[in-house]
Structure 1
Amino acid sequence: MDGTVLDSEHMYHKIIKEICDKFNKKYTNDLEIKMYGETDRAICLTIVKELKLPISAAEFELQLEHLAQNLLPSAPIQIGAERLLTHLHDCKIPMALATNSTEQAVRLHATARPKLFGMFHHKVSVTDPEVAKGKPNPDIYLVAASRFRDKPKPIQCLVFEDSAIGVTAANEAGMQVVMIPDPRLDREQTRQATLVLRSLLDFKPELFGLPPFDAIPTRKSRID
């Protein structure tokens, strides 16, 4: 979701920086990149420990949730994301949202963009009761795959990711993964992806056996 469908990853880390600034602690670029794709809990635990903040990880997380609730719903859609989602939806390709964000965060974004998020067959968050561990563990992706009607095998699933943590989770799940990394990521962190692109605009569906963008859907779906 964050960083792949929505350009919200940078906004999220800007909020984290603002909280750290209140305690005169510097949230460095290196630390930010290290946190890409992590769960909220993991981020808060790491930052409080590494920066020696005078608050608990739980308190940091509460402040983060409060600020994010007001700002994140305004995050713009990533370049090429709406085009790809609309195309796959119209071509009847089942899609799921699988995110290290919480169910509360997913609801915030879905409320702000009901048409976009309505294209997903289902959504799996890190706080889903069937998810034992978040990414880089494979749980989120395996649960997401199990909830499609035809129960596809992992190798039949294609994942889109922006973080090295997410790519690891997809690989551990036995799935192919297209990565659209932040340009600041070290190239070494992109080597495990099946395919690396600069943006979703560069994605060619036919490379993975999907209908090309110029394909005419048999029947267009309507999203209310």
Structure 2
Amino acid sequence: MNAQPVAAITHVLFDLDGLLIDTETCYAKAYQMVAKQFGKQYTHELKVRVMGLSPKVGFEVIIKELELPITVEEFTRLGNEYFNHIVKDVELMSGAERLVRHLYDHNIPLAIASGATSDAFAIKTAKFEHFFSKNNFFKHLVIGGDDPLIARGKPFPDIFIEAMNRFDPIPETHNVLVFEDSLMGVKAALAANMPCVWVPDPVFDGSEGNATLVLKSLLDFRPEVFGLPPFESSDN
């Protein structure tokens, strides 16, 4: 899909789960294992509904939809037990490292805006601790799950506005490009008046959300479309 016309990009924000690191697959497996304990099925349709939501809200939706006889706290404990085992084998998404390194090498300020909690972020990124460390490639990490300055989760724009405001100097919203994999994240970026590249989970067809650009993979991203330095021919 062709990108909509946007101003030249000076700063970039990345979601984490399902965008830079393949944790959505891990979550789906963990939630299916919880549901299976109670004779239920965690379907693709339900996965679509909870993608991008805060963990608490997502668990509430799953429990209600599947009529599980457990509390959010119990679902959290069970889900985390399964997830923490599965996530040890997590991998970076295709094209993630190439894109981040390219933008960093060309002095584009980068940050992560994730709805995870700090503990969950640490567990998910442990295998790639150097890559995700603050002040390595990323100027800052906004971990919205337990950040007191993030009052509302996606689809509200709070996390992207806060991530933008932590750059020094603070850019204009239209100069900040957001990369997302969830529909809720796309809505949050657009609500923040920021252009958004959507790399949707295969459960989406990419026709929703009015993202600025929809791609099948980060490997398909062409920085020059947004006024960013192009990849060298050897990087393609």
When the two structures are superposed, what TM-score results if normalisation uses the length of structure 2?
Answer: 0.86
Q: Could you tell me how far apart the structure 2 residues matched to 1:187 and 1:193 are?
A: 9
**1:102-181 to 2 correspondence within 5 Å?**
102-118=117-133, 119-126=137-144, 127-181=146-200
2:46 is the counterpart of 1:10: no
Residues 71-95 of structure 1 show CA distances to partners (whole Å, capped at 9, x for unaligned) of 2243110000000001111111111
> Once the 2 structures are TM-superposed, how far is the Cα of residue 114 of structure 1 from its aligned partner?
2.1
User: 1:89 aligned to 86, 94, 104, which one?
Assistant: 104
Distance between the aligned counterparts of 1:204 and 1:36, measured in 2?
A: 26
Deviating above 3 A after TM superposition, structure 1's stretches of 4 or more consecutive aligned residues are none
Query: 1:44 touches 1:58 (CA, 8 Å); kept in 2?
Result: no
Match of 2:78 in 1: 63
Deviations along 1:57-78, whole A, 9 cap, x unmatched?
1210122223322322431100
- Cα offsets for 1:9-51 (capped at 9, x unmatched): 0111110000010011111221112111111111111111111
Structure 2 distance, partners of 1:187, 1:86, is 26
Matches of 2:185 and 2:229, distance apart in 1: 25
Consecutive unaligned residues of structure 1, counting only runs of 5 or more, are: 217-224
1:75 equivalent to 2:90? Answer yes
Task: State the percentage of identical aligned residues.
Answer: 40
Q: Take 2:113 and 2:130, find their aligned partners in 1: how far apart are those partners?
A: 18
Letter matched to residue 29 of structure 1: H
Q: What's 2:10 paired with?
A: none
In structure 1, the partner of 2:231 is 213
Partner of 1:203: 221
Long gaps (5+) in structure 2: 1-15
What letter is aligned with 2:22? D
Partner Cα separation in structure 2 for residue 110 and residue 45 of structure 1? 25
Q: TM-score, normalised by structure 1?
A: 0.91
Which amino acid in 1 is paired with 2:75?
A: F
Q: Which amino acid aligns with 2:65?
A: E
Q: In the aligned structure 2, how far is the partner of 1:188 from the partner of 1:87?
A: 29
**Residues 1:47 and 2:62 are matched in the alignment:** yes
CA contact under 8 A between 2:88 and 2:127: conserved in structure 1?
yes
- Considering Cα pairs closer than 8 Å and 6+ residues apart, tell me whether 1 or 2 has the greater RCO: 2
- Letter of the aligned partner of 2:73 in structure 1? A
SS of 1:188's equivalent in the other structure is: coil
Tell me the number of residue pairs that the alignment of Structure 1 and Structure 2 aligns. Answer: 215
User: Matches of 1:129 and 1:70 in 2, distance apart?
Assistant: 29
User: Which region of structure 1 is more displaced relative to structure 2, 130-139 or 178-187?
Assistant: 178-187
CA distance in 1, matches of 2:44, 2:192: 30
